[in-house]
Amino acid sequence: MSLFGLKFGKKKLKEEERQLQANNRDFNLQFEYANNSIKTSKYNFFTFLPLNLFEQFQRIANAYFLFLLILQLIPQISSLAWFTTVVPLVLVLAVSGVKDAIDDFNRHKSDKHVNNRPVQVLINGMLKDEKWMNVQVGDIIKLENNNFVTADLLLLSSSEPHSLTYIETAELDGETNLKVKQALTVTAELGEDLQKLTEFNGAVKCEAPNNKLDKFTGTLTLQGEKYALDNEKMLLRGCTIRNTEWCFGLVIYAGPDTKLMQNSGKTTFKRTSIDRLMNVLVLVIFAFLALMCLILAIGNGIWEYDKGCYFQVYLPWAEGVNSASYSGFLMFWSYVIILNTVVPISLYVSVEIIRLGNSFYIDWDRKMYYPLNDTPAQARTTTLNEELGQIKYIFSDKTGTLTQNIMCFNKCSINGKSYGDVYDMSGQRIEINENTEKVDFSYNQLADPKFAFYDHSLVEAVKLSDVPTHRFFRLLSLCHTVMPEEKKEGNLVYQAQSPDEGALVTAARNFGFVFRARTPETITVVEMGETKIYKLLAILDFNNVRKRMSVIVRSPEGDLTLYCKGADTILYELLHSSCDSLKEETTEHLNEFAGEGLRTLVVAYKNLDEDYFQDWIRRHHEASTALEGREDKLSELYEEIEKDLMLLGATAIEDKLQDGVPQTIETLAKANIKIWVLTGDKQETAMNIGYSCNLLNDDMEDVFIIEGSTSDDVLNELRNARKKMKPDSFLDSDEINIQFQKSSKNPNVIPDEQANGVYGLVITGHSLAYALEGNLELELVRTACMCKVVICCRVTPLQKAQVVELVKKYKKAVTLAIGDGANDVSMIKTAHIGVGISGQEGMQAVLSSDFSFAQFRYLQRLLLVHGRWSYIRMCKFLKYFFYKNFAFTLVHFWYGFFSGFSAQTVYDEWFITLYNLVYTSLPVLGMSLFDQDVDDRWSMLFPQLYVPGQQNLYFNKMVFVKCMLQGIYSSLILFFIPYGAMYNTMRSDGKAIADYQSFALMAQTCLLIVVSVQIGLDTSYWTVVNQFFIWGSLSVYFAITFTMYSDGMYLIFTASFPFVGTARNTLSQPNVWLAIFLSITLCVLPVVGFRFLKAQLKPTPSDKVLLKIKEAKKRPPPPSPKRRLRRTSTRRSGYAFSHQHGFGALIMSGRNMRPKSPFATTGTFSPNSDKHKHKGL
């Protein structure tokens, strides 16, 4: 049963196989399948308080303060009032709780928005509007064009011929090219007939819910017949219906069982490495506190036994105390309360305030604001700021994160001439920017207004009817598998299987060769205003082995021509020998294009002999209908006809990177940050982007490609790569191998290993699945982490998270994941820091992230400026805070030896109350919110300054020990100098001032001035606020002291203010000020001396960079000329194809064809005819 959102009763058995029946809710309910409601929130109304408190009390200090509160409620040992602990504790818990509640409320809101989306469900023979969350397994639902897919569905029928349905899977795998799904013939007949759909009672048996996006097996039983089901018949949640008016689907998996949700990962409670370190340090401090209290308790027992009996007359033991040992036991707990200020609760209040303040800086940073879509940077969580200054590994998505996912026809080479560059009057090439004049395509009414090209000479060549140029663009308009849509006359929309193909066809369209319509037998092209219909005789389809595609067409004039496009390495082997000189010129252009990171293709043609073609097409028909060896026979025929081609030229497409991506990656690499790209894209595309954005380059020693299809193959490939990078890693003397030998189980942390050069690693999703298995994961981590760059391609969302988890598990490093789509959510949740880019793929990544912004380039500012500053500020804060509290608290310890171990406080109780709350809180907050060793410009110019954060140099256990020792040393000075100065001292008028109140005042004044001078030494960047806080705090101290120790306050509140007259009597004595000056000098001088000598004799790399910056500030360097990042590469690739086998067979069969467009039925349409001229006016 369910109570308050919690479920009791028998545990649900693990599902082995799913059974369901269409249109039979009663049958399906017996299996208790999940409904379509999703939940990404952590709490509900009833579980918030217990769960949130449980999380907060995992912070050891919170548990300690609760324990302290219980102690203060016991009168025999309480030396301070209970509310001094309960008020700050409740405040800290409340602030953190409210923040967590707001975060979870936003998650609830997001869930509610998704769960309440409307969908049409077939109920009792009628389509009814239902909310997504009410959809159940076995329901039949109707989806329309541009709808999100509600759940994981078996496609039953659609509006398209042969029940094809086009979908976009960007939120699942990041790919925006269309994919096609097809229903079974037996269900396609149902159409949109509601009566037939209602009577449909097919039973489905399939695999249990899992996270494999590319795999589905099951059977449909209908009227006694069994039909096989596979992934090609499934529409997955997260996809979007495109170019399909309507389709019907049967719900197989709903809500949390859908493959999208199975891949989404869990929402985890993230804590920074400093938080975890503080937990350890707090335990150390507790042990130190217990040791001090034990020493003082033993001292009390001995003193009471030896001397206490003499004081019984006027200092009797408390009620119930009847022995020296029991007195010592009570004193132990009294000292626990007095000395608890070594870990004051104000530490945690201050930490939250500092984090909140540094989060606001991110929100307010105008340099991370993207004006084009009005998107500011946003710190969606306020607890992880300083971790941004410690990132060692970045895991990035590709599509939409590094790239804009926009393909642009950038340059081309036609008949040995290169087009696309712009030259000035003197013949110098000029940089293309937003001010460069674009080519005017207004003469072409069917041109795409979004298309931009800058080289006017190409348009002139087209207008002058240059034969090779016309043939080039004719090829681009005919040789493809693009589907056109023309709902309004002249308004063409191309649906391409890959964005590359769309870019090439759009380029041909703008230069006057407009692909207008297609049927299974024809292609209609408007050539320079004249409509021509080509007969499509054959499509020689693309596959990963051929790396090319061809079409054979007959022109209206009757000419037979084969047009081919493909990778240069393949096509160059097929060219006629007469093309050799043109091939050399084109190769130069290809090298130049590839050097700029463009995606290249070579295009060629061949005029065919009629008799030969008739013989070839007969053999082609026989091969395509053969029952055995069909693929091989077709491949041989393709090879036969694609020979002696005539070279036309080459195309260069730019897969547009986001602005500043190469520069950002270069800067992050200098900061010793390793970047891994995890993408759903195919290997060639991912590698090409790797080269474009300077991740990979030809200067690397090697780029290893791991593509083994078995576990042993993958292991051998990884080992061979490691052997090349570091042969010594296979020796028994190797540090990690020694670790293996010592420990029977795998080591927890693998130290960093240095390769003998710069290497890259590319691994496919199939191989990665083997590499992530238990016995191979260590090999993967060792090999991959030696490489400068790792690219994982064709990976599922869950594999992305597993890779991040693997590095977290074996490397003592902070990880960051950045992405923009639903397929990145699990990775973003798994990494220490998750960054969402508010891009074109929806807001799922942003909603799951810790930080978000609009462009990848802002990542360098987030890390190198905000992250670094936050880390340095937090480290300085902690060092200073622990120091000042050790110095403050340990004076009580030394005083215990001079006060009979009686738990008497050194300072006035008001000073103890106000020390952390008023006197020292604002100066340290000022430093922690405003301090910066260098400004943002220098932080970006010298990324090496980021390295100490990765190595955790500014605050670690050793630094803490140094703070502790400095605090102990200062406490000795702060006790014994005032004690010696006061001992048997007389005022100038002969009166004694060696009383407890005068000593207390002198000790606390010394302490406050010393810690104020210390924070002055720690401050690197002085502002008006810092000055005001430090001088203001000292002024407030003296003002409060003179006020509280005045006669008036004593007369009004006699019991509360016993230090009457102490301030004016003590602070008027020159010897007191001399002693204060001596204390300050003795406390501060060693610190100044140590820092000076360390910087001179053993400077850190950071010190050296800071010295460079100091010198550069004196002589500002001339501004460096802006340079465009270029790479020289001989690597080229042909990518104007989709990731799957081509659509050629589908097009030729005509199964995907709609009725002809009304605007393409005639062969005489011309945009320049009188009939249509008014359209362009």
Residues labelled as active-site residues = 397
Closest CA to 797 of 680, 706, 684, 676: 680
Q: Supply the Cα-derived Rg of the chain in whole angstroms.
A: 38
- Per DSSP bridges, beta strands 560-566 and 599-607 are antiparallel
Q: Could you tell me which residues come within 8 angstroms of residue 985 by beta carbon, excluding any fewer than 6 positions away?
A: 992, 993, 994, 1071
Separation between Cα atoms, residue 1011 and residue 1084, nearest integer Å: 9
- CA 386, CA 860: separation in Å to the nearest integer? 15
Q: How deeply is 1006 buried, as exposed, middle or buried, from its count of CB atoms within 10 A (0-12, 13-18, 19+)?
A: buried
Distances (CA, A) of 1061 to 186, 326, 993: 101, 38, 12
Please say whether the beta carbons of 367 and 660 come within 8 A: no
CA distances (Å), origin 893, targets 191, 863, 1143: 87, 43, 83
CB 839, CB 824: distance < 8 Å: no
Enumerate the H helices of 116-234 as residue ranges: 170-173, 185-188, 194-199
User: How large is the angle between the packed helices 273-306 and 324-338, nearest 10 degrees?
Assistant: 150
* Cβ count within 10 A of residue 2: 8
Strand ranges (E), 79-208:
118-123, 126-131, 140-144, 152-158, 164-168, 178-182, 203-207
Residues 960, 952: Cα–Cα separation, whole Å: 12
What is the H or E stretch that residue 252 is in?
strand 246-253
Collapsed DSSP state (helix, strand, coil) of residue 206: strand
Per the DSSP assignment, residues forming a β-bridge with 551 are: 539, 563
Looking up tokens 């078996």 gives: 154
Crossing angle of helices 774-786 and 711-725, in 10° steps, is 30
Angle, alpha carbons 862-682-700 (nearest 5°)? 65
Reference 642, options 564, 582, 536, 545; nearest CA is: 564
| Distance from C-alpha of 1102 to C-alpha of 1094, rounded to nearest angstrom | 12
Nearest to 817 by CA among 784, 848, 854: 848
β-pairing verdict for 417-419 and 674-678: unpaired
Tokens of 789: 């760059």
Strands 234-235 and 152-158: antiparallel
- The position carrying tokens 């905000």 is 866
In 3-state terms, what secondary structure has residue 817? Answer: strand
Burial 627-636 (b: 16+ CB within 10 A, else e): eeeeeebbbe
Q: Give the C-alpha separation, 71 to 59, whole Å.
A: 19
DSSP string, 1013-1027: HHHHHH-SS--HHHH
From residue 664, alpha-carbon distances to 186, 398, 669, 862, 1156 in Å are: 54, 14, 9, 11, 49
Contact call for residues 481 and 498 (beta carbons, < 8 A): no
